[in-house]
Amino acid sequence: MKPLSSTGFALLGAGLIAISYGLARFAFGLFVPPIRDELGLTPTTIGIIGALPLISFILATLIAPLTTHYLGARNAAVLSGAFGLGGLTLISQATSALSLGAGVFACGICTGLMMPALTAAMQAQVKRSLHGRVSSVMNAGTSIGVIIAVPTVLFLTGAWRFTYLSFAVLAGIGVVAAWLFLPSVSRITPADAAPPPPISELPWSRLVRLTLFAFVMGFVSSAYWIFAPDLVVTLGGLSSRATGWLWLAVGIAGLGGAVVADLADRNNPPITHALMLMMLSASLALLAASPDQSLLAAFSALIFGLAYMSLTGLYLMTGIRLLPGRLSVGPVLPFMAVSLGQATGSPVVGLLVNAYDYADAFAMFSALGILVAILSPFYPGYIAQTDDDEAEEDTGLQAAYDYQLQDEDGEPLESPTDDEDSPEPKQ
């Protein structure tokens, strides 16, 4: 079968990310109100279940590089899709907290394996000069998946089992597409590429600061992802159907996140980080203050979606820049920190809701986010690779990918021809 073009690969990747991130992971919060009512779950139980896919995401991410190396990009993506198919099916048939938890845990494994598999496939099949553009399109898949989930809430109120079964069908289609169109080989490293710097020479101070900021952002954002729909239903008295507009706003605003993150890398990452984290925290406070006002609630979702996707994009670029030559680790490290923060924050929110109420719990998390945003001057900006006159050309997501392969002088490795850059993958 003829390999996909760069555009085709980007669209396929965005579709697979939409399924594994948007539907298998982030759509869960949208269905918390009807699931909670039907299964009789408490906020504490919901918080624990909400943490399970994040824990499994971390575990899957840890083994993803080895999985991709030994199985190849295609088989790793198929394995990811199979976990998504099984997890979504389990959720659709859940009769207790245990079976629901098993389903969301499997979905977390799907999420953790998919992006490393697609990144490995991109390294093998797409020209290096297009990696930034293709990666941006694939990352937009998260927002697309969140948007896809919205009509099911708007037009199938209460039919969460049928909705998740529909998601499982889409996951099955994704498995077939991954098997047919992704290359079997993984990343191909040119022989003249310099080896990555030794571990002892890594910028550990910057990596620690990146990890801490990403952890706190994940911790604060967990309140919105898991409990925002339940807040407007329980505290604001809105219908479960109305919560769909929240996720629609999150998805639409999230599409602009890649642009903001790219501009941040070209200007001042610490200042952008402070602004976005402040906006994310404000979205929690606004929702808690006006849960019965549907327009204000939707506006808070717009702010949250833009801020969250911008921050994850910024963390992605910073991780890639700080770990040149280690593409299997650079993007993974901050995402693992975000997920660990979400896994920690989800049960904490549930406990606070039980002890106090939704408004107080969201206010506490918002205050924490604002406090950390004030510390953003300590956020690690990119390490300049060139003189100031050339700095603008060496910023942005594509520049971050360019420096993944360097020559002996520390400059981006040039590829004489596209054929050498992107060898035809085995099918």
* 3-class SS of residue 412: strand
Predicted pLDDT at 388: 46
CA distance 265 to 272: 9
- Of the chain, the percentage scoring pLDDT greater than 70 comes to 81
Contacts of 248 (CB under 8 A, 6+ apart): 147, 150, 301
Per-residue pLDDT band for 421 (boundaries 50, 70, 90) equals: very low
pLDDT in tens, 156-169: 767 889 999 999 99
The answer to whether domain 1-188 and domain 200-384 are alike in fold is: yes
> Alpha-carbon torsion 68, 69, 75, 79, what sign?
negative
- The CATH architecture that domain 200-384 belongs to is Up-down Bundle (1.20)
- Mean model confidence pLDDT for the chain: 83
Q: Are 350 and 45 in contact (CB under 8 A)?
A: yes
Predicted pLDDT at 398: 66
Predicted pLDDT at 397: 64
pLDDT in tens, 79-104: 999 999 999 999 999 999 999 999 99
Strands (DSSP E) found in 269-400:
none
Contacts of 201 (CB under 8 A, 6+ apart): none
For the residues of 126-164, what is the DSSP string, one character each?
A: S-GGGHHHHHHHHHTHHHHHHHHHHHHHHHSTT-HHHHH
Predicted pLDDT at 265: 62
Model pTM score: 0.82
Residue 342 region, left (φ>0) first, then alpha (ψ -120 to 50), else beta? alpha
Q: Is 348 exposed, middle or buried (0-12, 13-18, 19+ CB in 10 A)?
A: middle
Predicted pLDDT at 85: 97
Among 52, 49, 21, which residue's Cα sits nearest to residue 35?
A: 49
Per-residue pLDDT band for 306 (boundaries 50, 70, 90) equals: very high
Domain boundary assignment for the chain: 1-188, 200-384
Identify the CATH homologous superfamily for domain 1-188. Answer: MFS general substrate transporter like domains (1.20.1250.20)
Q: Are 237 and 130 in contact (CB under 8 A)?
A: no
Q: Is 377 exposed, middle or buried (0-12, 13-18, 19+ CB in 10 A)?
A: exposed
